[in-house]
Amino acid sequence: MNKKYMVLWGCVLLFTACKNHSDKKTEVADPVDQITIQKPTMKWEQVASVDGSKPVARHEAAFVRVGDKFYLLGGRDIRPVSIYDTKTQTWSEGAKPPIEIHHFQPVTYQNKIYLIAALTGKYPAETPTEHIYIYDPATDKWSKGDEIPEERRRGSTGNVLYEGKIYISCGIKNGHIGDHKKWLDRYDPSTGEWEVLADAPRARDHFQAVLADGKIYVPAGRNSGIDPNSVFGGTIGEVDVYDIKSDTWETLPEHIPTPRAGNAAALYNNELIVVGGESTTQEKAHAEVEVLDLNTHKWHTLPTMVEGRHGSGLVLFKDDLYIASGCGSRGGSPELTTMEKFGVED
């Protein structure tokens, strides 16, 4: 083959390759069917034990998780601890507390449950506990902890744990009668040291505080006894926020849509969730679930609980929220023995 023919044949090959490449560029892809991705349905549903066991009915109590077990503690009168084992899906009973203890938000520290700034005694003139009480799930034993400074005693506070220290916000000194407090304190369980911090913008009781990103959120609650017509009056719409590092407070612009007290609150999916409660607007306990976006500070709603309830707490386990016991109407009855969870519909 002579050189001239070889050059000519090479040009033909090059032209063909370029044409084929150009044709591929101009091809139109077949249309692809659009796929609609459905968001998972979230709902509340009752959770029954496999053997029919139930927790001891109670309200103005605490619900908290340690490991893979849930604990219901305290409440009116002296009630034994109710323990839910998530592995066996059964309830059992633990030890009774040494005193009647109620109206507190529990804090878990080193796998022990701290009951701090609680009330004791009978309605309406309950008194603050003089000591911290500690329940050890590993041994099922109660112990009396440090004495609370007399001048800082009160109950029905919002409590959170941050960097090994317990923050105690607001509260009430004289049961359901009055002497509401704007106080904020910090307690170090490793040393027993008690420190007074900046007062909140307003007093409140019957609420739960929530920790998120170094800030303490204080939503809902009331000033018990301030309304002469009803102990359930005096609810608070404002949300106050404490910045731990700067020791300063601010008040968010939007009020909670449904003011109530005796509600449970927690951090869920990086949002502040407020569940249940009681108020003057209805006889039954609230079933509303309202959520504060911590970035926009806007409120939105989630599906309501199966049963309205107040005087309990929220437990986060895996991806679900649980709430148990509490009271089905405002006041003290009926006390419930049910548990429900919020999560993706099965």
CB-based contacts of 200: which residues, under 8 Å, 6+ apart? 169, 170, 182, 183, 184, 218, 240, 242, 249
Q: Does residue 187 contact residue 227 with C-beta atoms inside 8 Å? A: no
Amino acid 345: pLDDT: 82
46 lies in some domain: no
Integer Cα distance of 108 and 136 in angstroms: 10
213 lies in some domain: yes
Taking alpha carbons only, the member of 307, 315, 316 closest to residue 334 is 307
**Number of domains into which the chain is organized:** 1
| pLDDT profile of the chain (346 residues), mean per 10 | 40 42 44 59 97 98 99 98 99 99 99 99 98 99 99 99 99 98 99 99 99 99 96 98 99 99 98 99 98 98 98 98 98 98 89
Integer Cα distance of 112 and 142 in angstroms: 10
227 lies in some domain: yes
Q: What is the CATH number of the domain that holds 129?
A: 2.120.10.80
Radius of gyration of the chain (CA): 28
Amino acid 256: pLDDT: 99
Integer Cα distance of 239 and 209 in angstroms: 10
Tokens standing for residue 4: 């001239």
For 336, counting Cβ atoms within 10 Å of its Cβ (0-12 exposed, 13-18 middle, 19+ buried), the class is buried
Find residue 264's DSSP bridge partners.
275
Distances in whole angstroms, Cα of residue 247 to Cα of each of 198, 208, 215, 241, 266: 6, 19, 10, 10, 22
Q: Does residue 58 contact residue 335 with C-beta atoms inside 8 Å? A: yes
Amino acid 40: pLDDT: 79
Integer Cα distance of 316 and 253 in angstroms: 28
* Dihedral angle of Cα 273, 279, 283, 284, to the nearest 10 degrees: 10
- Domain holding 211, by residue range, is 61-261
Using DSSP bridges, classify how beta strands 112-115 and 82-85 pair: parallel, antiparallel or unpaired.
unpaired
Taking alpha carbons only, the member of 80, 76, 133 closest to residue 107 is 133
List phi, psi (to 5°) of 53.
-70, 150
199 lies in some domain: yes
Taking alpha carbons only, the member of 199, 189, 200, 181 closest to residue 162 is 189
303 lies in some domain: no
**Phi-psi group of 140: left, alpha or beta (phi > 0 → left; psi -120 to 50 → alpha; rest → beta):** left
127 lies in some domain: yes
Per residue in 145-188, pLDDT (tens digit) is: 999 999 999 999 999 999 999 999 999 999 999 999 999 999 99
185 lies in some domain: yes
Amino acid 31: pLDDT: 46
253 lies in some domain: yes
Integer Cα distance of 104 and 159 in angstroms: 8
Amino acid 28: pLDDT: 43
Amino acid 26: pLDDT: 42
236 DSSP assignment: -
Amino acid 37: pLDDT: 60
Using DSSP bridges, classify how beta strands 240-243 and 248-251 pair: parallel, antiparallel or unpaired.
antiparallel
Task: Note the pTM of the prediction, 2 decimals.
Answer: 0.89
> Is the dihedral angle over the CA atoms 228, 249, 237, 336 positive or is it negative?
negative
Amino acid at 165: K
Q: How many CB atoms lie within 10 A of CB 123?
A: 15
